[in-house]
């Protein structure tokens, strides 16, 4: 003998797929935490790759990591002229903050300024990065003496 279909049975049967869709949607938004972790990992990886190139003095390859490489008025030749610092050691120590498309990364470095005969100077700095078209790019610090210089 078959049971008659009740209103409650009908609502539960029809509502189950809707409830499942809502639960799957909630689980997907929980992925934002994983996405933030992935974003931080991508920034760290890109920052480490950039600083490894800088330490090897491969500024031609490092150009692709620079924010200014996306500026049509900036040139590789102009970027290469900004040298003068040699890096003996660089250590990317972690992401300090990510706020939208801007981020800061903690970097420790030991460097020399051969033209000034300064050797083995050490500094810890907050390195600025900017996301452009979904990819993190290093932001060149402006000169303290010439803030409008590129």
The CA-atom distances, in angstroms, between 69 and each of 5, 72, 78, 150 are 68, 8, 11, 11
Q: Is the pLDDT of residue 48 over 60?
A: yes
Count of domains forming the chain: 1
Predicted TM-score (pTM) of the model is 0.70
Contacts for 117 with CB less than 8 Å, ≥ 6 apart: none
Cα 74 to chain centroid distance, Å, stands at 21
CATH of the domain at 31: 3.10.450.100
Q: Residue 2 domain-assigned?
A: no
pLDDT at 25: 43
Backbone angles phi, psi at 57, to 5 degrees: 65, 35
Q: Residue 147 domain-assigned?
A: no
The parent domain of residue 23 ranges over: 7-138
Q: CA-to-CA distance for 145 and 128, rounded, in angstroms?
A: 19
Kindly state the average pLDDT of the residues 20-24. 40
Q: Which has more pLDDT, 5 or 52?
A: 52
* Tens digits of residue pLDDT in 100-141: 999 999 999 999 998 888 899 999 999 999 999 999 999 987
């Amino acid at each position: 003998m078959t049971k008659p279909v009740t209103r409650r049975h009908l609502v539960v049967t029809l509502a189950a797929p809707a409830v499942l869709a809502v639960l799957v949607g909630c689980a997907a938004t929980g992925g934002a935490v994983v996405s933030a972790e992935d974003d931080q990992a991508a920034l760290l990886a890109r920052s480490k790759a950039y600083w490894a190139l800088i330490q090897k003095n491969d500024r031609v390859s490092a150009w692709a990591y620079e924010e200014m490489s996306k500026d049509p008025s900036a040139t590789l030749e102009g970027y290469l002229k900004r040298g003068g610092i040699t890096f003996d050691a660089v250590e990317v120590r972690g992401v300090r903050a990510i706020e939208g498309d801007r981020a800061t990364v903690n970097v420790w470095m030991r460097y020399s300024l051969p033209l000034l005969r300064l050797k083995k100077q050490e500094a810890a700095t907050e390195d600025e990065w900017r996301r452009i078209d979904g990819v993190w790019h290093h932001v060149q610090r402006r000169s303290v003496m010439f803030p409008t210089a590129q």
